[in-house]
Amino acid sequence: MRRILLLFALYGPVSAAPAWAEPGAAHIKVAGISPVLYWGIGTLIVMSLCFWLFSLWNWRLKKEIRHRKATEKALIDSVLQYQQLVQVIPHGIVEVDRYLQVTYCNPPFAKILGLEPDDVMGKALTELIASESSQTAIRQMLHSVNQSGEHLSLQLSMSDTHQQNHEVRFDFGFTDQTPSESQVIIVTDLTRQEQAEKALRKSEAIYRNTFEHIQAGIAHLAIDGTITRANTFMCQMLGYSVDELPGLGLSQITHPEDVQISQEKLHQLHEAGHGAYSLAKRYRRKDGASIWGLVSVSLMQQSDGDDYYIVVVQDIDDFKHQQDEVAEASQNLESTVAQRTAELRRRVTEVEDLNRAMLNLAEDLRISNQQLEVKSGEVKEINRELESFAYSVSHDLRAPLRHISGFVSVLSDKSSEQLDDNARRYLGKISDSAEKMGKMIDDLLSFSRVGRTEMMNVPIDMHQLVMEVRRDIDENYPQLSIDWRVGSLPKVKGDVTALRQVVVNLLDNAAKYSSREESPRIEVMAEHLDGEVVFSIRDNGVGFDPTYAEKLFKVFQRLHREDEFAGTGIGLASVRRIIQRHGGWVAGESEPGQGACFRFALPEDSGALS
């Protein structure tokens, strides 16, 4: 093109050469046209043609440059895509030269070996494979590929740097783009592929088990609301078989009153293009019955545009019925509360009236207590007077009794021969009666002293006290072989003289009333109960009727005749008064012929004695 333009550029001056060579040629006319004009026009035409040809050449040159740039860009993009594809493809790709030296490998191939790509580059492929049989197999396979030019595969075992075996497949073969001096090999990790397939199968199994065994209804809906898939729970909940439910529309399984709200919610979700919603609605079972369900609907968008809904339904029918029952119960409760409130107000009024009555009663009780305190003081004064009177009477009776006893004794000694048997018997009875009366007076004086004597509060070793009284009783009843059983007895605080009298009276009674037994037995025990020390004295004697147990503790009250067992009936009354003055209590229990047990209690920490 450049040569053509150069020829045209020289054409003008050359064509005008004859006119310049001959003198006066400028005046020669050709076909009535001046040669100069002819030369000028020719030159103009040639120059215009040259300019047009130059512009055409320049346009074609720019077009060719643009085409080459586009081709280069496409080639670069293709190379980049190829590199990206090779980097992310799950298969290993390795390129080796004719000496099996690695000239390129992608990360997946290096990962199979447990190395980085830079650690693989430049090494011999056979060096990367530990097994000699595998190395030999690769060389033979490459030789076969070079001979036949076909694509061949080889499966073998490889070990990575962690000594883990991988079953891999080598795919060999030349392509038109592969230089004759190199070979591209595609390596597939069958072990990892198998693991991935196994994991995928396990994941699918988990999904299927979850879908089928979860205790909630799950269904897939097409965009138009048609059920495409449903799990067993959903079918059972609505009373359909697994084959009947798919294909039904949402409106066919929804209660007529809830169809509109369901369709509106689906439409809003579809218009939004994403998200989910929850709704409590009624479903219609196959048998026509209604059932409440809590439904959650999510829109699942697919790349191919085949979107669908995932529907999860929880059976809340029982919960709804319970809610209705609770609402009804709440209404009943409100009514009951109103009734009870009215009743409570009435009761409050009654309580207020009762409180006023109690206040009046308390005031009356206070007045009564004051009066009782006055009476109590009077009674105490009367008791003191009675005790003084009893003491005085007892003391004053001693002199007449001494006179009676004395005169009876004198009469018996001096006039016994003059008296007949009846008279002597009468004197004996008078003497015995006087003696008995004297003992009664002594006991009565002792009883009166119990209420008058000041009590001394000192520590007392009860075990030592009982053992001392035991020795005295053994001396008083030498004919008895008493089986004594004395337990561990604690120390207490009290008046030692008064408590000795208590122990003497109780142990003497036990010995007296068991004296008719072949093997009399007396037990003395103690125990701590509710802040008190309870002593018990038990015998195996004749016992008594428990109906009259309280009678025993009154003055001159006895349950046995005088000729059976001697006594005045003062001892147990004295025991009660002494124990009461110590802040305790005394009681007796028995059955006829079963022995008797007397208990008395003293406070563990005795205070001031009364």
Q: What is the pLDDT of residues 386-427, one digit of tens each?
A: 566 666 665 666 667 666 777 667 667 766 667 777 776 777
pLDDT for residue 33: 61
pLDDT for residue 415: 67
Higher pLDDT, 16 or 83: 83
In tens, the pLDDT along 450-495 reads 655 677 888 999 999 999 999 998 888 888 888 999 999 999 998 8
Return d(Cα 584, Cα 534) in angstroms, integer.
Answer: 9
Return d(Cα 176, Cα 97) in angstroms, integer.
Answer: 16
Pick the range with the lowest mean pLDDT from 35-44, 255-264, 479-488. Answer: 35-44
Return d(Cα 37, Cα 437) in angstroms, integer.
Answer: 200
**% the chain with pLDDT above 70:** 77
**587-592-594-599 Cα dihedral, nearest 10 degrees:** 10
Tokens read off for 78: 């293709």
Tell me: pLDDT of 298 over 50: yes
CB-based contacts of 294: which residues, under 8 Å, 6+ apart? 278, 279, 280, 313, 314, 316
Return d(Cα 511, Cα 91) in angstroms, integer.
Answer: 115
Q: Averaged over 83-109, what is the pLDDT? A: 79
Strand order in the sheet with 532-539: 483-486, 521-529, 532-539, 596-603, 585-590
Return d(Cα 498, Cα 465) in angstroms, integer.
Answer: 12
Collapsed DSSP state (helix, strand, coil) of residue 279? strand
Confidence of residue 560 (pLDDT cuts 50, 70, 90): low
Tell me: pLDDT of 433 over 50: yes
In tens, the pLDDT along 195-223 reads 777 888 888 778 777 777 778 888 888 88
Cα 294–chain centre separation? 28
pLDDT for residue 262: 85
Average pLDDT of the chain to the nearest whole number: 78
* Unique residue bearing structure tokens 């490459």: 142
**How far are the Cα atoms of 28, 476, 511, 551, 558 from residue 472, in angstroms, in the given order?**
198, 6, 11, 28, 24
Q: Averaged over 59-76, what is the pLDDT? A: 82
Question: Which of 291-295, 374-378, 401-405 is the most confident on average?
Answer: 291-295
Asked if 441 and 397 count as a contact pair (C-beta separation under 8 A), the reply is yes
pLDDT for residue 537: 93
**351-354-359-365 Cα dihedral, nearest 10 degrees:** -140
**How far are the Cα atoms of 126, 176, 182 from residue 147, in angstroms, in the given order?**
20, 16, 14
pLDDT for residue 17: 46
pLDDT for residue 28: 47
Tell me: pLDDT of 70 over 50: yes
pLDDT for residue 14: 47
Higher pLDDT, 286 or 161: 286
Q: Averaged over 561-569, what is the pLDDT? A: 60
Tell me: pLDDT of 592 over 70: yes
Q: Averaged over 188-201, what is the pLDDT? A: 79
Tell me: pLDDT of 18 over 60: no
In tens, the pLDDT along 119-157 reads 888 888 777 776 777 777 777 777 777 777 777 788 777
0.85 surpassed by pTM:
no
